[in-house]
Amino acid sequence: MIEENAVPTPVDKDVLITDDWRVSGRIYREASIFERELRRIYGRTWVFVAHESEIPVGGDYKTAYIGRQPVIVSRVADTGAINVMFNRCRHRGSAVCQREFGNTSFFRCAYHGWTYGAEGQLVGVPFDDGYPEAFDKSAMGLTHVPRVEVYRGFVFASLDPAIVGLPEYLGNARRYLDFIADVGSGGPELASRAQKVVYRGNWKLQIENTIDPYHFSFTHKSWLDILKDRTGTSSPWVKNVRTNPDWRGMDLGNGHAVHEYGPLERAGENAHAIGIGELIPFNLNVFPSLAFVGAHLRLVVPRAVDETHVYLYPILPRGADAETRNRILRDHEIFYGPSGFGSTDDVEVGFDRVTNGLEASASPNDWALMSRGLHREVVEPGTGIRIGRSSDEVPQRAYLRRWLELMEVEDGC
Domains of the chain in sequence order:
47-151 (2.102.10.10), 190-407 (3.90.380.10)
Cis peptide before 288 (omega within 30 of 0): yes
End-to-end alpha-carbon separation of the chain, Å? 34
CA angle 122, 103, 310 (to 5 degrees): 100
| Pairing assessment for the beta strands 195-199 and 188-189 based on DSSP bridges | unpaired
pLDDT of res. 269? 54
pLDDT of res. 361? 94
Answer whether 313's CB lies under 8 Å from 301's CB.
Answer: no
Residues 6+ away with beta carbon under 8 Å from 369: 2, 21, 22, 23
pTM over the 0.95 mark:
no
CA 8 vs. chain centroid, Å, equals 33
C-alpha span between 336 and 279 (Å, rounded): 15
Cβ–Cβ contacts within 10 Å for residue 278, how many? 16
Is the CA virtual torsion 194, 195, 197, 203 positive or negative? negative
pLDDT of res. 341? 84
Angle between helices 203-210 and 394-407 (to 10 degrees): 140
Per-residue pLDDT tens listing for the chain (413 residues): 344 444 455 566 689 999 999 999 999 999 999 999 999 999 999 999 999 999 999 999 999 999 999 999 999 988 899 999 999 999 999 999 999 999 999 999 999 999 999 999 999 999 999 999 999 999 999 999 999 999 999 999 999 999 999 999 999 999 999 999 998 888 899 988 899 999 999 999 999 999 998 888 888 888 888 888 888 888 888 888 889 999 999 999 999 999 999 888 776 554 443 334 457 889 999 999 999 998 899 999 999 999 999 999 999 988 888 998 898 898 888 888 888 888 888 889 899 999 999 999 999 999 999 999 999 999 999 999 999 999 999 999 999 999 999 999 988 76
* 368 DSSP β-pair partners: 23
Q: Which residues of 343-363 are buried (b: 16+ CB within 10 A; e: fewer)?
A: bbbbbeebbeebbeebeeeee
pLDDT of res. 275? 39
